[in-house]
Amino acid sequence: MKSLHEFLTMGGYAAYVWPAYAVAAAVMIANAVLPGGRLKRLKAEIRRRKGAGA
Partner 1 sequence: MDKHSWAWFHRFASPPYLYKVAGLLTPWFAWSAALLIAAGLYGGLWSSPPDYQQGDGFRIIYIHVPSAYLSMMCYGIVALASAVGLIWRLKLAHAVAVAAAPLGASFTLLALITGSLWGKPMWGTFWVWDARLTSELILLFLYLGFIALTRAYEDQRSGDRAGAVLALVGVVNLPIIHYSVVWWNSLHQGSTKFFGNDAEIPASMLVPLLLMIFGFTCFFAACLLKRIQVEVLERERNATWVAEVLR
Q: In sequence order, which ranges of 1-54 are alpha helices (DSSP H)?
A: 4-9, 14-51
Shortest Å distance, C-beta 10 to partner 1: 4
Shortest Å distance, C-beta 34 to partner 1: 9
14 and 8 Cβ atoms separated by less than 8 Å: yes
Binding site for partner 1 (CB under 8 A): 1, 6-7, 10-13, 15-17, 19-21, 23-24, 27-28, 30-32, 35-36, 38-39, 42-43, 46-47, 50
Residue whose C-alpha is closest to residue 4's, from 14, 21, 25, 19:
14
Shortest Å distance, C-beta 24 to partner 1: 4
